[in-house]
Amino acid sequence: MYKVFVNDIPIILSTEKEIDEKYTSFPIKTVRLKKVIKRIIKGKLRYVNLYHPDEQKLLRYLFKKIKVVTAAGGMVLNPQKEILFIYRNNRWDLPKGKIEKNEGLEEGALREVEEETGVKELKITKFITKTYHVFKRKGKFRLKETYWYEMYSEYDGELIPEESEGIKKVKWKDFKKTRKALLKSYANIKMLFPEEYLTGEAKDWVA
């Protein structure tokens, strides 16, 4: 199963025709995806399940229906177990950006984090997951496929928001402040965090 976010509303991609009575199901092979997206944006549709019996074909059909932009980013931790956030479009987010031509995913993730935040001495500690969300560019819908990596840095210098990308602030946040920031973040960003950051108490979690 996959989740593709339209704003904070997830479209479910699954192998099951019926997943819940509140969901409207469409075969992904024949669905008019852009029409579904428009209905979600207008608030006329909220629970959507796109299905195909072969799980391996779910993304294949999705990618045929909407142009894909590949991006990469990072959840950066420091020695104090604080997490690096950016503030853009009135939301707390994690640094990420589009992969350039002939650039590797990890290379692009490190570059984007440094460019958007000013943080240096970054190293990748593990791959977290991929997320998918729909956005609009020049009047056309696009699907952003973002590869997320856990990173670590001992950098304690100045944080520099990339203002040309609309970033207003860059902050290191401890457990309490991270939980507060996630209340004003995106649903696909919340998916990256351990459960205790959303509902529980702080635990030992370090890169």
pLDDT per residue as tens digits for the range 155-191: 999 999 999 999 999 999 999 999 999 999 999 999 9
Place of tokens 């950066």: 76
| SS3 label, residue 93 | strand
pTM, to two decimals: 0.91
b/e for 143-167, b at 16 or more Cβ within 10 A?
Answer: bbbbbbbbbbbebeeeeebbeeeeb
Q: What does residue 188 show for φ and ψ, rounded to 5 degrees? A: -70, -25
Give pLDDT, residue 204: 52
CA dist 74 and 96 (Å) reads: 7
Complete domains list, the chain, with CATH: 2-65 (no CATH), 72-197 (3.90.79.10)
103-128 mean pLDDT: 98
